[in-house]
Amino acid sequence: MSLEPLEHVSLAPRCTLGVGGPARWFMEARDLATVLVAHEWARRRGVPLRVLGGGSNVVIADDGVDALVLRVALRGVSAQDTPEGVEVTAAAGEPWDDFVRRAVERGWAGVECLSGIPGLVGATPIQNVGAYGQEVSDTVTGVRALDRATGHVVTLGARACRFAYRDSALKSAEPDRYIVLAVTYRLRPGGAPAVRYADVQRHLDARGVRHPALGDVRQTVLSVRRTKSMVLEPGDENARSCGSFFLNPILPAPDAARVGERAGAEAAMPSWPEPDGRVKLSAAWLIERAGFARGARDGAVGLSTRHSLAIVCHDGARARDVLAFARRLRDGVEARFGVRLVPEPVVWGASGLD
């Protein structure tokens, strides 16, 4: 690809929601040299630089993005044995589920429950991707990145990433500083799979799998995700989504108890204690109990028919429709339970839900 940016490139086909306007400038980087060129091009002109991966966690405004959008498409995977396990380094442009499948096939434990999550490797440390009792902070040992403040390539250790629930320093503390180039994960050769969620255990029990291997857990997670349309597949009416649109709220225990009181005599409110004494609640449960049923629609945008945490686009949808519908959900939950849900995807070129 040319080392000069293209102009007015449509971003909707590059995002799983399939909505949004164009990038004012666009480059795709298949090597480090192109990343450096894009960084320098934007710096010299005072142009904002946005990094796009698989497009599964972003809402692009209808008017587009007045910035240079850099799609990081670096590829390659390598592995090195260490006394603590095997350290596997994957380039930022590697599809995440391909990486998980490869790890499972080689008998490397640590990411099997993260099967079926869309997107690329580069996004995983930024938002500390997690599901079914695992998250990448359990295994990440290093993030190789371009430090836009200095123009140098650096390696950040796990501590420097400051991982938290679906968060990291790369996402919230310094969101525009680093361009992730590669991620190193420490996995466990021959390790036992993680079975920490009731959905996964029930599915294994139904199949009569008493001593699951890594492959059993991967297939189970994929099956469970498919029942919720959380695996992006052609022909699925719920495919045009960002997956979970809101984070599960984590509240101080007294606040969680007050939410339970407001729920009243309804079905028992799901909750999970956190190590720091706080309590995690189910955003999906709150949305449903606030009066939004699965499949509910407002024009061309609505909830998934299989999962009340996924906002889905249909023909004719626009980004403004997505944000308006998300605002309805957020405000409805806040009015019913006093909990203000926080969106998981980032919004480009618009003011977000507010």
Which residues are annotated as catalytic?
A: 166, 244, 344
In terms of Cβ atoms closer than 10 Å to its own Cβ (0-12, 13-18, 19+), residue 275 is exposed
The answer to whether residues 124 and 168 touch, using CB atoms and an 8 Å cutoff, is no
Question: Beta strands 22-29 and 58-60: pairing type?
Answer: unpaired
Look up residue 268 and give its two tokens: 């028992």
CA count, 13 A, side-chain hemisphere, 323: 19
Task: Round to whole Å and give the CA distance between 187 and 97.
Answer: 15
Distance CA 336, CA 285 (A): 12
**CA–CA dist 42, 65 (Å, integer):** 14
Crossing angle of helices 253-263 and 319-337, in 10° steps, is 90
Alpha helix ranges (H) inside the chain: 32-45, 96-105, 158-161, 198-206, 214-227, 253-263, 283-289, 319-337
Q: Tell me the Ramachandran region of residue 8: left when phi exceeds 0, alpha when psi lies from -120 to 50, beta otherwise.
A: left
CB atoms within 10 A of CB 200: 23
Closest CA to 148 of 69, 35, 31: 35
Distance CA 172, CA 159 (A): 15
Give me the residue label for tokens 């403004």. Answer: 320
- Determine the 3-state secondary structure of 349 from DSSP: coil
Q: What are phi and psi of 289, to 5 degrees?
A: -75, -10
Q: Which residue has the tokens 């400038």?
A: 25
* Local structure of 309: helix, strand or coil: coil
First-to-last alpha carbon distance for the chain, in angstroms, is: 38
